[in-house]
Amino acid sequence: MRRLDLKSRDSQSRRRRLIHHNLLGKEASRTERGEQHSPAAGSEVDAVEQATQAVLATVSARVDKVKPVVASSSEMSTVVASRRPAGLGTILSLLRRKSPVTWLFTGDNIVQGAGCTDGRRSCVELFAERIRGELRRAGDVVINTGVSGDSAPQLLATLKRRVLRYRPDVVAISLGINDCKAGTAGRESFRSTMREILDRVRTAGGIPLVMLPHPIYVPATRNRADLRQYVEILRQEIVRDEVPCVDQWTDWLQHWPDPVATRGRLADGRIQLNAAAHQHLAGLIFQTLQIFDSQSAACFGSIVKST
């Protein structure tokens, strides 16, 4: 076997080939590899390594920034409790702007207010007085397309003519008192119809404002005994979609829990609001929209104390 002369160029070249083919030991290989790198080559390797580490550090920092922040249960409770229905917030912002707003009230006789106020103003007329007169929003438009005896299917069938063609900003809807005559069998149909009405109003760019029915005098209209369950359906839908509402039902139970007292607020002794009840309902609307003022003529007497 030919002896390697490590000092000769040919021997060094041959030694490198042997190392490359793993024909020499690991120690010789490591030693030889160390001999192959000049100081300049080593510095270049160090520079590449430093650059690589810098890139990795930057990526890591960015990842840390996008890591989800996990809030405590108490913090989450505070956030949920402070949430306000999105629609109501938008209505309040409309009232703060100077640009005109189109308000539309639709549904049953609670909105129409015909033949039950003895010539005094209905809740919608009082609303127009408060908005266009007292608040000096003369450019606003208040429209009333309520129909006595109306139900959810009837409103849905005429929605384009009675609501959508006016392109309203806010749509106050009063339904349920006539729908409840369908009883248990009509509950789910009422739910789906109301959901479609609310969806179509929102799709057209309007903000729905649901006016929950008031309690009625059931002994005089027993075919409406299921009204409480229909009110609950409305409540579930407005909670589900964060729809703002005027909660007449709860307010009446607080002020007039006795059915006899309830009957005293009804023009026909059954379901129709009398003039005082319309004034009270107007006050509830003003409170919901945060425009109630006890010094206002339109608001005067609207909110009464429970007896």
Q: What is the pLDDT of residues 147-168, one digit of tens each?
A: 999 999 999 999 999 999 999 9
**Cross-strand bridge partners of residue 170:** 103, 207
Range among 51-60, 116-125, 235-244 rated most confident: 235-244
The H-assigned helical ranges of the chain are: 9-20, 26-36, 39-65, 73-82, 86-96, 109-112, 123-128, 152-157, 159-162, 187-203, 227-240, 248-255, 259-263, 275-288
Give the other-Cβ count within 10 Å of 284's Cβ.
Answer: 21
pTM > 0.75: yes or no: no
Beta-bridge partner residues of 103 = 142, 170
8 Å CB contact between 254 and 306: yes
What's the confidence (pLDDT) of residue 234? 97
Alpha-carbon Rg of the chain, whole angstroms? 38
Burial bucket for residue 225 (CB in 10 Å: 0-12, 13-18, 19+): middle
Between 121 and 42, name the one with better pLDDT. Answer: 121
The candidate with the shortest Cα–Cα distance to 95, out of 282, 284, 299, 289, is: 289
Q: How far apart (Å, rounded) are the C-alpha atoms in residues 21 and 54?
A: 36
Mean pLDDT of 195-201: 97
Q: Coil, strand, or helix at residue 35? A: helix
CA separation for the pair 33, 296 (Å, rounded)? 95
Distances (CA, A) of 196 to 46, 88, 166, 211, 241: 68, 20, 18, 17, 12
Task: Judge whether 111 and 105 are in contact, CB under 8 Å.
Answer: yes
- Give φ, ψ of 138 to 5 degrees: -65, -25
Domains of the chain listed by start with CATH number? 9-57 (no CATH), 86-288 (3.40.50.1110)
pLDDT in tens, 71-110: 343 333 333 333 445 689 999 999 999 999 999 999 999 9
Exposed, middle or buried, 14 (CB in 10 Å: 0-12/13-18/19+)? middle
The pLDDT of residue 183 is 97
Among candidate residues 284, 286, 292, 207, the one with its CA nearest the CA of residue 242: 207
- The SS3 call for residue 187 is helix
Q: What is the pLDDT of residue 6?
A: 47
- CA 180-183-187 angle, to 5 degrees, is 75
Question: What integer best gives the mean pLDDT of the chain?
Answer: 80
Q: How many residues does the chain have?
A: 307
